[in-house]
Structure 1
Amino acid sequence: MILAIFICFICLACSLAFFFSYELRIKVQRSFLVLIPQSKKQLNSVRYFAQQLNNAAAPEQIQSHWHLQQWWILVAGFFLFTSILIFAFTRPINPTKIEADYLREVDPQIYALLEGQILSPPPEVEESLIEEAIIAATNIESAQPNVQAKVFNLNIEDVHTQHSHADLAAANRKWHKMNPRYKKRLLMVFKIMQQRHGYEMVLLEGYRSPERQNTLAGNSNVTRARGFQSYHQFGLAADVAFKRNGKVVISERDPWAMQGYQLYGEIAESVGLTWGGRWKSIQDYGHTEYRMPGLRKTVEMAEQLTSEGQLLANNIN
């Protein structure tokens, strides 16, 4: 902005000097009168050279105008080189490619696990499907009030059995604030679950604001972590569910879903994530987080990590 103001000031000063100075106007006028004949002479020279260059392309002129034909090679090479540059700078670049390059520098481990794959996030799940899933989960849990989750996993103790699904309607299901170090690991788990076990997965919540975290912490059955104590505020955690026959399934009382959560936990742990199903106090089977080495749970760190994915995506705009 300062540079633009400075340039405008210089232009205005030059314009005023031109209009108010008789001597300056006369000098400019004489300069143009001198340049016009020279410009005409140069233009005629260019036309003559262009005509010779055109004639040199004829087959019968190969021997006599070979030196001019070298210009055609230079012109062709120039356009070829220019086309390569245009393609290099204008070819479409997607954020997943940028994220892969970023991970190669900051997280070689996950980059090696990707093996050159560029994984894109799935489409955001529709709100209507979430609402239907909440109703279905509520009906299942009300119909089976005494069923414990340990029916599906006898090895886990102190199982948390009271889940609140109503707050999911206000959850953030966008991927752009999730840090690429966690995001790519999660996408890899999604791919393995789909290809190896046939489970289609959806994101229920990724980034969670500290205000929302404090609200949820008001119910100790949901979470005990307050703002900036959860990995959600750092873009390093997510809650997921499954999609079956076009419908989202979020209830852990559904045997098919519970089996999927067990598989999800095993695969997530294999790529370096922490699974909420292993927790002793409150089991959160759809939750995974990436406990990044050296992470400091501060406001500044949360802003830095959650902005990295957005900044990478903005690089293509």
Structure 2
Amino acid sequence: MIIAIFIGFIFVSSSLALLFSYELRHKVQDFFVILIPQSKKQLHCAKQFIQQLNDAAAPEQVQSHWHLQQWWILISGFLLFSSILIFAFTRPINPTKIEADYLRDVDPQIYSLLDGQMLSPPAEVNASLIEEAIMAESQLDTQHSVQAETFNPNIEDLHMQHSNSDIASADRKWHKMNPRYKQRLLMVFKIMQERHGYEMVLLEGYRSPERQNLLAGNRHITRAKGFQSYHQFGLAADIAFKRNGKVVISERDPEVMKGYQLYGEVAESVGLTWGGRWKSIQDYGHTEYRMPGLRKTAEMAEQLTSEGQLLAHDIP
């Protein structure tokens, strides 16, 4: 659009210059007066050359016009080479093939599990649904806390300390996750939907070290600081379930809790670690890929998260 406006501006400016400048109009007129005869002469020569090429193509002219027949070979080779270049530079980029080639080289295990068929991420869940789920969970927390105090005022509800108020602002961009983890998680999403009837949504994928340090301030949420969590490397995510068009994050819902158990089993079957197995803080919606030989450094985090983003940038 900007290019079209710029070209239009140049055209209008040139037209106005021609209209208001007598000398410029005279020079342009003289230029075309000289150009037209030369063009006619060049066109006539070109027609003669083409006619000679056409005559040289006849079988009986092989011996006498062999030097002209070399032009046919040159022109044909040029057209063939040009068509190859045009195809190479104008064909659409296939992001699926890019990711498949990447995983085939760096992670043959998930590539073989997928049989070379890359899975596409679902649409990002609406933030309003996340906020509604947080409000519903807060109401359940309040009710549970009141009941606990009525039964025994000395009981401390640890679940209340798992603040969900920051989930709405969490990063849910799939391309910020490394393909090695992303494709495993997408496979889990597919199995959970097709085999068990659970629709899943991404609550948080990549997490910055600054956000990780902020969450680590509450030891009941996480004890991992920046670059100690797999979130910073694009190798971890937190999920929830979607039921009747609404996101459900409550672990007190029996159906949801059953879903988390199934989620853990499926995730472990594709090589992921499930937070529900942890002894200190059980995080049922969390999975991570503990990549062999991973060095938990800022440089490695930048490399692993940028791999997924570079693949995304290749998509037109």
Within 2, Cα distance between the matches of 1:87 and 1:145? 66
The alignment partner of 1:176 has SS state of: helix
Give the C-alpha shift of residue 80 in structure 1: 6.2
Give the C-alpha shift of residue 87 in structure 1: 3.2
Identity within the alignment, %: 77
The alignment partner of 2:201 has SS state of: strand
Q: Is contact 1:141–1:253 with CA below 8 Å preserved after alignment?
A: no
Aligned to 2:104: 104
AA aligned opposite 1:193 = M
Q: Is contact 1:241–1:286 with CA below 8 Å preserved after alignment?
A: yes
The alignment partner of 1:266 has SS state of: helix
- Kindly report which structure 2 residues correspond to 1:33-112, keeping only aligned pairs within 5 A, or say none: 45-52=45-52, 79=79, 82-83=82-83, 85-112=85-112
Aligned to 2:245: 246
Q: Is contact 1:160–1:283 with CA below 8 Å preserved after alignment?
A: no
The alignment partner of 2:174 has SS state of: coil
The alignment partner of 1:188 has SS state of: helix
Give the C-alpha shift of residue 125 in structure 1: 1.1
Give the C-alpha shift of residue 72 in structure 1: 7.7
Within 2, Cα distance between the matches of 1:83 and 1:244? 52
Aligned to 1:282: 281
Aligned to 1:179: 178
Change in Cα spacing, 1:311 to 1:251, as seen in structure 2 (3 Å) is same
Q: Is contact 1:160–1:281 with CA below 8 Å preserved after alignment?
A: no
Aligned to 2:151: none
Q: For residues 85-105 of structure 1, give each alpha carbon's deviation from its aligned partner in whole angstroms, at most 9, with x where no partner exists.
A: 433432222434312211111
Q: Is contact 2:267–2:273 with CA below 8 Å preserved after alignment?
A: yes
AA aligned opposite 1:49 = F
Q: After superposing the two structures, state which structure 1 stretch, 75-84 or 162-171, moved more.
A: 75-84
- Kindly report which structure 2 residues correspond to 1:1-317, keeping only aligned pairs within 5 A, or say none: 45-52=45-52, 79=79, 82-83=82-83, 85-145=85-145, 161-162=159-160, 163-316=162-315
Change in Cα spacing, 1:289 to 1:52, as seen in structure 2 (3 Å) is same
Within 2, Cα distance between the matches of 1:188 and 1:238? 14
Change in Cα spacing, 1:137 to 1:56, as seen in structure 2 (3 Å) is farther
The alignment partner of 1:185 has SS state of: helix
Q: For residues 264-298 of structure 1, give each alpha carbon's deviation from its aligned partner in whole angstroms, at most 9, with x where no partner exists.
A: 11111011100000001111011000111111111
The alignment partner of 2:258 has SS state of: helix
Give the C-alpha shift of residue 144 in structure 1: 3.6
AA aligned opposite 1:47 = K
Give the C-alpha shift of residue 49 in structure 1: 2.7
Within 2, Cα distance between the matches of 1:70 and 1:146? 94
The alignment partner of 2:202 has SS state of: strand
Within 2, Cα distance between the matches of 1:54 and 1:119? 55
Q: Is contact 2:103–2:110 with CA below 8 Å preserved after alignment?
A: yes
AA aligned opposite 1:309 = G
| TM-score (normalised: structure 2) | 0.73
Change in Cα spacing, 1:259 to 1:80, as seen in structure 2 (3 Å) is farther
Q: Which has the higher contact order (CA 8 A, sep 6+)?
A: 1
Give the C-alpha shift of residue 263 in structure 1: 1.1
Within 1, Cα distance between the matches of 2:173 and 2:110? 21
AA aligned opposite 2:46 = V
Q: Is contact 2:93–2:314 with CA below 8 Å preserved after alignment?
A: no
Give the C-alpha shift of residue 170 in structure 1: 1.8
Change in Cα spacing, 1:293 to 1:76, as seen in structure 2 (3 Å) is same
Give the C-alpha shift of residue 65 in structure 1: 6.9
The alignment partner of 1:139 has SS state of: helix
Within 1, Cα distance between the matches of 2:124 and 2:180? 20
Q: Is contact 2:274–2:287 with CA below 8 Å preserved after alignment?
A: yes
AA aligned opposite 2:247 = V
Change in Cα spacing, 1:79 to 1:215, as seen in structure 2 (3 Å) is same
Change in Cα spacing, 1:242 to 1:84, as seen in structure 2 (3 Å) is farther
Aligned to 1:34: none
Q: Is contact 2:240–2:248 with CA below 8 Å preserved after alignment?
A: yes
Q: Is contact 1:160–1:282 with CA below 8 Å preserved after alignment?
A: no
Unaligned ranges ≥5, structure 1? 1-38, 149-158
The alignment partner of 1:182 has SS state of: helix
Q: Is contact 2:141–2:159 with CA below 8 Å preserved after alignment?
A: no
